[in-house]
């Protein structure tokens, strides 16, 4: 009788062990191992904007350990093995010509304060070496990308100031034209082109970004801007959160001919997870996102791929990628599809690290070049919310206008006195 009980116990343990073995996904095990060896670097996360929207940037009212109203919090970051994140400093297009610079500076400030408040999780970083240093300490390297060229108010001085504050990429437009670049909506026909791509000042800005060592982000721009920048830039470019147009023909995505050029210029396209850019519909699955990875790999090579989830900046996410914690599921799916360890590591972070190092090398090679201090022509930015200080010709016009006004008032007074 005892022997039968022992046999039954052993049988139960064996069945349990087999069930556990079957349940354990070898692809996930391998994915987590690779993510422990190479940092997952995500190109775009809008958590700072959620701080603005939900708490008006009052971080004292936020606990990122327990926050549940966002796609991103500290437990999700740890579960998702997030090695480095470009946090978006974003100001809406409605702020253009008004207070976009202030809003952007406040979003830069909130990223710095987040790192200071949670030093056990985040380390602020500005370089490829900074990313690796944070990864070696098992912390998330935190970088800043400014989303939208309107945030610099057409000022190279403002661009340089933001670089000094730690900004490492500028998305040339958001969903509005700037005085020097067309945005992606022009390609949909819903907005007119103002510059046929880049204006002369926009081309000067590309040169200055190369000199600074700031990544040029081509998400949100027209195809014309994409091609002009690829012609002009001495450094590789990024698409921080865009997907493949051939899989989902939304104008926010990247067409195959541009993907090939990104490969030729050693840049990177960081795949967006937003359903509307994944399947061009309101619903999507993790496998649909993997299709974009496969397509970019096929058309442009594995060296052109990265992760750009757009978490906390979108309203719909694929089944299986609902928040930052789920990204290992996608890594496991790529392995399931036959991606090699080296290919996965390239997409995880090695591609972005290479791009960042090459941008830094171009910066160093241009070290003797002086900052461009010629402002955008006043006629290109003239509006009721902008003064003309520094523009001597505009000031002269204003002085003449003032003189004309004074003469008119004097003549009116003279006429009035004569009538009396």
Q: Which residues contact 270 (CB under 8 A, 6 or more apart)?
A: 42, 43, 44, 238, 239, 240, 241, 242, 305, 306, 307, 308, 352
The residue from 44, 195, 292, 295 that is catalytic is 44
The residue from 310, 312, 323, 343 that is catalytic is 310
44 is catalytic: yes
The residue from 46, 153, 288, 312 that is catalytic is 46
CA-based max dimension of the chain: 130
DSSP strand pairing (140-147 vs 268-271)? unpaired
Kindly report the three-state secondary structure assignment for every residue of 183-200.
ECHHHHCCCCCCCCCECH
The residue from 71, 103, 150, 220 that is catalytic is 220
The residue from 71, 195, 241, 292 that is catalytic is 241
CA distance 171 to 258: 17
The residue from 174, 195, 292, 295 that is catalytic is 174
CA distance 63 to 395: 50
Q: Which residues contact 69 (CB under 8 A, 6 or more apart)?
A: 50, 54
Q: Which residues contact 276 (CB under 8 A, 6 or more apart)?
A: 248, 250, 282, 314, 316
Q: What are the beta bridge partners of residue 319?
A: 285
CA distance 84 to 29: 21
256-264 and 223-232 helices cross at what angle (nearest 10)?
10
46 is catalytic: yes
147 is catalytic: yes
The residue from 147, 217, 291, 333 that is catalytic is 147
220 is catalytic: yes
99 is catalytic: no
310 is catalytic: yes
Supply angle C-alpha 285, 286, 291, rounded to 5. 100
Q: Shortest CA distance to 51 belongs to which of 38, 63, 43?
A: 63
Structure tokens at 311: 């978490």
The residues annotated as belonging to the active site are 44, 46, 147, 174, 220, 241, 310
């Amino acid at each position: 009788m005892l022997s039968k009980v022992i046999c039954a116990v052993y049988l139960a343990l064996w069945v349990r062990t087999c069930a556990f073995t079957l349940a354990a996904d070898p692809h996930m095990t391998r994915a987590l191992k690779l993510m422990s060896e190479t940092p997952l670097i995500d190109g775009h996360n809008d958590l700072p904007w959620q701080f603005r929207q939900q708490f008006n940037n009052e971080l004292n009212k936020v606990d990122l350990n327990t926050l549940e109203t966002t796609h991103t919090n500290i437990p999700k970051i740890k579960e998702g093995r997030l090695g480095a994140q470009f946090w978006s400093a974003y100001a809406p297009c409605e702020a253009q010509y008004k207070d976009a610079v202030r809003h952007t500076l406040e979003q830069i400030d909130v990223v710095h304060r987040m790192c200071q408040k949670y030093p056990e999780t985040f380390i602020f970083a500005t370089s490829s070496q900074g990313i690796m240093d944070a990864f070696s300490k098992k912390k998330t390297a935190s970088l800043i990308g400014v989303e939208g060229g309107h945030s610099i108010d057409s000022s190279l001085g403002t661009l340089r100031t933001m670089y000094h504050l730690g900004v490492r990429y500028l998305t040339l437009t958001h969903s509005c034209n700037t005085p020097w670049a067309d945005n992606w909506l022009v390609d949909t026909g819903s907005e007119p082109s103002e510059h046929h791509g880049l204006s002369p000042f926009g081309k000067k800005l590309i040169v200055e970004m190369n000199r600074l060592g700031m990544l040029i982000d081509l998400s949100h721009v027209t195809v014309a801007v994409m091609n002009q920048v690829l012609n002009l830039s001495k450094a590789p470019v990024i698409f921080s959160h865009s997907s493949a147009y051939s899989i989902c023909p939304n104008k926010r995505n990247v067409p195959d001919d541009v993907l090939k050029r990104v490969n030729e210029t050693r840049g990177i396209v960081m795949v967006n997870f937003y359903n509307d850019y994944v399947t061009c519909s309101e619903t999507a699955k993790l496998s649909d996102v993997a299709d974009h990875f496969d397509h970019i790999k096929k058309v442009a090579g594995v060296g052109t791929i990265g992760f750009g989830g757009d978490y906390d900046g979108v309203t719909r996410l694929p089944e299986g990628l609902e928040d930052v914690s789920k990204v290992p599921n996608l890594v496991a799916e790529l392995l399931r599809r036959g991606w090699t360890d080296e290919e996965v590591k390239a997409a995880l972070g090695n591609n972005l690290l290479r791009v960042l190092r090459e941008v830094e090398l171009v910066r160093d090679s241009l070290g003797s070049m002086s900052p461009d201090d010629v402002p955008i022509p006043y006629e290109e930015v003239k509006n009721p919310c902008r003064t003309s200080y520094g523009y001597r010709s505009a000031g002269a016009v204003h002085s003449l206008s003032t003189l004309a006004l004074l003469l008119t008032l004097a003549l009116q007074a003279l006429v009035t006195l004569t009538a009396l």
